[in-house]
Homo-oligomer: A and B are copies of this chain.
Amino acid sequence: MQLQFLGTGAGMPSKERNTSALVLKLLEERGTVWLFDCGEATQHQILHTTIRPRKVEKIFITHLHGDHIFGLPGFLSSRSFLGGEDALTLYGPKGLQEWITATLAVSKTHLTYAIKFVEVEEGVIYEDDQFIVRARLLEHVIPCFGYRIEQKPLKGELLIEKARNLGVPKGPLLGKLKNGEDITLEDGRKVFSHEVTASPKKGFTISILGDTKYCEPAKVLSDDADIVVHEATFDHTTEHLAASYGHSTNVEAAKIALESKAKYLVLNHLSSRFLPHDIEVLLNQAKAVFPNSFIAHDLSNYEWKNGELFEEQ
């Protein structure tokens, strides 16, 4: 899994930071990419990455503020231009489907693929044999969801040597054992899957939170998570304003990560008031509360490997 930030600014694009978007690259896991929010010019940012729009399988929208959705019509339309044919599922608050439908209609955009709309409500919004995605309402000035993505435990690998020693022949029986089925050999002996497979590996859990003030649901979504992606629109100098605007400070974000016993924190959605030299200060303030903190830049790419998060340089 890799996590790449496409836009890490708040409200309006600046030369340094575009409006919100990030991708969860699940290329090894399922050959696809999940996009979270899609501010204007997300497709332009994608031009500077290796991401292929046609690989984007799901888009999760946290809330309907312009800096989180105004890139959607262009992205959807270019995904079509670029030959995308696989259906795409779009998760978002009530109102999104109607707006997208109206926008595609007024611009006479005819997509080469189907969009499945899912109007998000709190709870499990997606589940398959690999992943489970949960949504909770955060506390912003308009309804805004945070998402928790849990990878289910990964089947332990097949211990071939052990299976062969028990007399399992090469061929389909090995596959069955690997997939968790118990089998019976030709001579009548039973071989149990758990005997010849390593124990399952824990999957990763990441919470990707939208705009929010410091709030309880952010902690619930981030409970014991490997990675928390949290906004940091304000800092302590404007702390008194943060909550009334429905936003958080860098330090409040760090508290969420600490209190939810998360492993890593990545801050995004930074105000353009912050200049490049402020960023290190913001980071150190967060680290003082929660040491494993990062601040994302546009196009920052993080790799999740063996239970650790690496920022690629």
**Bound-state Cα–Cα, A294 to B64, Å:** 42
Q: How far is the CB of A190 from chain B (nearest CB, A)?
A: 59
> Does chain B have a CB within 8 A of A163?
no
Asked if A66 is an interface residue, CB under 8 A from chain B, the answer is: yes
- The secondary structure that dominates the A interface is loop
Q: Does A11 contact B (CB under 8 A)?
A: yes
- Do the beta carbons of B108 and A78 come within 8 Å of each other? no
- Which of B13, B77, B78, B95 touches A44 (beta carbons < 8 Å)? B13
Are B106 and A64 in contact, CB atoms less than 8 angstroms apart? Answer: yes
CB A14 to nearest CB in B, in angstroms, measures 7
Task: Decide if A108 touches B44 in the complex (CB within 8 Å).
Answer: no
| Contact in complex: A47, B142 (CB < 8 Å) | no
Quick check: is A28 within 8 A (CB to CB) of the other chain?
A: no
User: Do residues A66 and B70 form an inter-chain contact, with CB atoms below 8 A?
Assistant: no
A15, CB-defined interface residue at 8 Å: yes
Interface: A98 (CB within 8 A): yes
Q: Assess whether B99 is in contact with A64, with CB atoms less than 8 Å apart.
A: no
Q: Which of B18, B65, B73 contacts A66 (CB 8 A)?
A: B73
A 85-109 contacts with B by CB, 8 A: 95-96, 98-99, 102-103, 106-109
- The answer to whether A109 and B40 have CB atoms under 8 Å apart is no
Docked CA distance A65–B104 (Å): 9
A56 within 8 A of B: no
- Asked whether any CB of chain B lies closer than 8 Å to the CB of A71, the reply is yes
User: Smallest distance from the beta carbon of A100 to chain B beta carbons, Å?
Assistant: 10
CA distance A98 to B96 in the complex (A): 16
- A64 neighbours in B (Cβ, 8 Å): 106-108
A253–B4 Cα gap in the complex (Å)?
43
Q: Which of A9-50 contact B (CB under 8 A)?
A: 11-15, 18-19, 40-41, 43-44, 47-48
Can you name the residue of chain B whose Cβ is closest to the Cβ of A14? B47
A178 to B66, CA, bound (A): 49
A13, B69: Cα distance in complex, Å:
18
**Interface contact B108-A98, CB-CB below 8 Å:** no
State A313–B95 Cα separation when bound (angstroms). 46
Contact present for A66 and B13 (CB under 8 Å): no
Closest residue to A39 on the B side, CB-wise?
B74
A192 at interface, CB cutoff 8 A: no
Q: Is the CB of B43 within 8 A of A13?
A: yes
A/B interface sample: 12 pairs, CB < 8 A: A11-B81, A19-B74, A40-B70, A40-B73, A40-B74, A64-B106, A66-B77, A66-B109, A70-B73, A95-B106, A108-B141, A108-B142
